[in-house]
Amino acid sequence: MSTLEVNTIAPITGSSDVTLGGSSKNVKFASGTTVDFNTNTPTITLGSTLKATPSFHAYRSDAWNSVPNNAWAKIPINVEEWDTDSAYDHSTNYRFTPQVAGKYYIYVSCNNGTSLTSQYCAIYKNGGESALAQADASAGSIIHVARIVELNGSSDYVEPYVYMQGTAAADMHQFRTFFGGYRLVGA
């Protein structure tokens, strides 16, 4: 490998471009290098490897008519709309366990059709509450909760939970009760 040391690289007379690398070649910058694009307005094209995956989105296939009253319950969200890495268990544990470490944007929407005193919707990480939202549910309610959660890529998992406080068992609407998430690129 050779080293070329210069202060300025300019195109030859009659040309307007300088090409670094060649077909199927990469131009790499050393660790700690600062690339300054402030003097021009560059166009940067990112390759297809820059994806927010693993990701998933799932919803209830039908109404859940027997949500426990005054108790936390895991929401059985059973239909995958997509699951890029088969990381969401939609049939048994109803949990997302990505095998890629990183920070993930996780969201849950809880929609009930019952008059309640209040309703809570939560994201649990590894069996404990990680994020919580609450609403007065006197005429039914929709609650959204979201959080950025760091997952280790081997054993960490997240799950959707609900707590409905009222006088009897409640119900949750289908389709409008959903759970999803995706890895944040570069995080």
Given this model, what pLDDT does residue 176 score?
A: 80
Q: Tell me if 142 is assigned to some domain.
A: yes
Side-chain-side CA neighbours of residue 186 (13 Å): 2
* Burial class for 165, CB neighbours closer than 10 Å (0-12, 13-18, 19+): middle
CATH of the domain at 122: 2.60.120.40
Structural domain total, the chain:
1
- The residue range of the domain holding 148 is 55-183
Q: What is the pLDDT of residue 55?
A: 96
138: in domain: yes
Q: What is the pLDDT of residue 163?
A: 87
pLDDT of residue 19: 73
Whether 19 is in a domain gets the answer no
Instruction: With respect to residue 79, please indicate whether it lies within any of the assigned structural domains.
Output: yes
User: Does residue 107 form part of some domain?
Assistant: yes
Q: Is residue 148 part of a domain?
A: yes
Quote the CA–CA distance of 81 and 52 in Å, as a whole number.
16
pLDDT tens, residue order, the chain (187 aa): 677 777 777 778 877 777 766 666 666 666 666 666 666 555 555 555 557 899 999 998 887 777 788 889 999 999 999 999 999 999 999 999 999 999 999 999 988 766 667 788 999 999 999 998 887 766 667 889 999 999 999 999 999 999 888 766 666 666 688 999 999 987 6
Q: Is residue 41 part of a domain?
A: no
Does residue 25 lie in a domain region?
A: no
Report pLDDT for 138: 65
Asked if omega into 54 is within 30° of 0 (cis), the reply is yes
